Amino acid sequence: MITIVNYGMGNLGSILNMFKRIGVQACVTSELASIQSAEKILLPGVGAFDAAMERINSSGLRQVLEHKAMVERVPVLGICLGMQLLTRGSEEGTLSGLGWIDADTRRFPAQKGIKVPHMGWNIALPSNQSLLIRNLPEEPRFYFVHSYYVTVDDPAHSIMRTTHGVSFDSAVQNGNIYGAQFHPEKSHKFGMQLLKNFAEV
């Protein structure tokens, strides 16, 4: 069972739909008690960094999530903004992130011919082996929508990289902590395989 954390940021219907399609049990919740008993956690997110951190900090969610991730070490997957929250912080805001991965979130620099947000389908190439990205169909491509990108300190924590003006870490892993910058729930068979992999880690 995968517990999708509803902290009021983002589009949860389509994540549930995809889990349903691949036959994986998942539930959406904002109850601390259900998150405390979660076996696997998915941290979604669309919106602004500080708004998300404020909600996580003020709702008591932060302590619960930290215990699950850092003490119990259950697998956690952050998607899009959810992945950026795993970093130390973002140029988008002033609050600190969860800091579960030594990484920063930066704004795409202004460059001619490079539109921000980075919106659309792009290629993500494996940079390290990870259970999260095994058996992906050939030429993996995913749907992205973001104006900020993640860059890890230790290249070993990068599992996929993508280029949009700059080259950045489009999927990351640090032990039980996983992140994907793109939207697997909107990425056809590529996303289905990735979510299936997360269900099986």
Partner 1 sequence: MLRTRVIPAMLLRNESLVKTIRFGKFTYVGDPCNTLRIFNELEVDELLFLDITATPEKRLPNLKILADIADECFMPLGYGGGIHTVDHAKSIFDIGFEKVAINSYATEHPEFVSELAKHYGNQAVIASIDVKKGLFGKKIVYTCSGRHRTQLEPVAWAKELESRGAGEILLTSIDREGTWEGFDLELVKSVTDAVSIPVIAHGGAGSVQDIGEVVKQAGASAVALGSMVVFQKQGMGVLVNFPDQKKLEKVLG
**Shortest Cβ 190–partner 1 spacing (Å):** 9
**Shortest Cβ 45–partner 1 spacing (Å):** 11
Given the residues 80, 92, 146, 164, the one annotated as active site: 80
What is the pairing mode between strands 118-123 and 76-79? unpaired
Residue 17 interacts with partner 1 (CB under 8 A): yes or no? yes
Given the residues 146, 157, 164, 185, the one annotated as active site: 185
Residue 25 interacts with partner 1 (CB under 8 A): yes or no? no
Residue 28 interacts with partner 1 (CB under 8 A): yes or no? no
List the one residue from 84, 191, 194, 198 that touches partner 1 (CB under 8 A): 191
List the one residue from 24, 46, 74, 201 that touches partner 1 (CB under 8 A): 46
Q: Of 64 and 150, which has the nearer Cβ to partner 1?
A: 150
Mark the segment that binds partner 1 (CB under 8 A) among 16-24, 55-63, 83-91, 126-134.
16-24
Say what angle helices 188-200 and 13-21 make with each other, to 10 degrees: 80
User: Is 80 noted as a catalytic residue in this protein?
Assistant: yes
Sign, CA torsion 150/186/21/17: positive
Residue 121 interacts with partner 1 (CB under 8 A): yes or no? yes
- The C-alpha atoms of residue 179 and residue 34 are separated, in whole angstroms, by 22
Q: Which of 2, 9, 137 shows the shortest CA–CA distance to 81? A: 9
Please state whether 143 falls in left (phi above 0), alpha (psi between -120 and 50) or beta: beta
- The C-alpha atoms of residue 14 and residue 37 are separated, in whole angstroms, by 23
Q: Of 60 and 120, which has the nearer Cβ to partner 1?
A: 120
